[in-house]
Amino acid sequence: MLHAALYGDEDQAVIFTYAWDRLLIDPRPGPRGADGFTGLEQLTRSVRSVPATARPIPPGGSTLPRLAAELPHTLALLDPHHGAEGITRQLEELVTHLAPASIDLLDVGGDILARGDEPTLKSPLADALTLAACCQVNAPIRLLIAGPGLDGELSPDDLRPLFGPLVHTFTAEDVDAIGGILQWHPSEATAMLAATARGARGTCEVRDAGLPVPLTDEGPTVHEVDLDDALSRNSLARAVMTTATLDEAEAHSREICGFSEIDYERNKATWLTEQPPTKLDPNDVLSRLDQFHSEARARGVTHTTFRHLTEALNLNGSHREALRRLLISHRPEQYAAPLWRIPSND
């Protein structure tokens, strides 16, 4: 979406990204590396691309092959299992191989600018590793923050003083090109970014904990931030710069931030395996949905994501797509694509 807005539709991009679906698609905690797939294609010595025909090795899961099938761009697998040193090596090889006209490091929400001690911080490790690597590559890289605060980790008020130029403000037209993908892709931050670009305003509950995220006029904006300023602020990124394994990086996260996001995923994955199987009963779901609406309105909530709604209705992640279809078929007026709108009254 950003590539089309800034560079047009003619040239294709290489999107260097994690295979890290955080238990939404993948029941295994942590990111997948190249050994977690079949059918990858060699792009450079240490970088593999993910074509539409690639498949995650069970029980792992990934959204990347389906994204590859629906996007015109090349998806390259960012593999953090060799720490920031490994990501730096991958980036250097890509720069040499592609000789790109531009390199943008994009973070939705802005938690890449965290110091590391913020009580609301939930997932600093992936951002810190990427930032650490980008600051060691001998190539100009532009850091862009889209949707300030939309990941529910840092507030726009904390981020605003760090922003440089406004690069773009997404519109409904920008979103239309990927509207079909947002029907199934589980990313909550991207869903809220798209919804604010389409005009949604209010408060959205996200994640398993139901964090309230404001949907404001700042939601669809994209700002540039100085890369070195971000590194000087992000203590975890500075600490992991010379890490050669993901385990090393995790240890730094526990020391600096007080936790590892992968530990959280490990604990939740264990808990999920201990839960009895659930069935999606339409009548029961619609009844519980009414109760959820009533309680959400009392909290001042206007929207929610289908990830949060699935968990709030005591369903597991495998039911998310079926739940979305059920609710849209019964209450289409509440579908504020790709979010669910809480009605003002029943």
pLDDT for the residue 9: 82
- The predicted structure's pLDDT at residue 99: 97
Q: Average pLDDT for residues 337-345, to the nearest whole number?
A: 93
Residue 318 in this model has a pLDDT that exceeds 90: no
Over residues 123-152, the pLDDT tens digits come to 999 999 999 999 999 999 999 999 999 999
Residue-range domain boundaries for the chain: 2-170+220-239, 282-341
Q: Within 10 Å of residue 97's Cβ, how many Cβ atoms?
A: 13
Q: What percent of the chain has pLDDT over 90?
A: 90
Residue 144 confidence (pLDDT): 98
CA distances for 12 relative to 67, 101, 206, angstroms:
14, 11, 32
Average pLDDT over residues 292-310: 96
d(CA 73, CA 49): 11
Asked whether residue 317 carries a pLDDT value surpassing 90, the answer given is no
Give the closest residue to 20 by CA, choosing from 74, 56, 46.
56
Quick one: pLDDT at residue 278? Answer: 83
Rounded distance between C-alpha atoms, residue 122 and residue 105, angstroms: 20
Per-residue pLDDT at 279 exceeds 90: no
Average pLDDT over residues 275-292: 92
pLDDT above 70 coverage of the chain, percent: 100
Tell me the average pLDDT across 26-37.
96
Does the pLDDT value for residue 346 go beyond 80? no
Confidence category of residue 105, pLDDT binned at 50, 70, 90: very high
Supply the mean pLDDT for the chain. 95
pTM listed for this prediction: 0.96
Q: 212-271: per-residue pLDDT in tens?
A: 999 999 999 999 999 999 999 999 999 999 999 999 999 999 999 999 999 999 999 999
Residue, of 177 and 77, whose pLDDT is higher: 77
Q: How confident is residue 177, by pLDDT bands cut at 50, 70 and 90?
A: confident
Residue 90 has pLDDT above 70, yes or no: yes
The token pair that represents 258 in the structure block = 């007080």
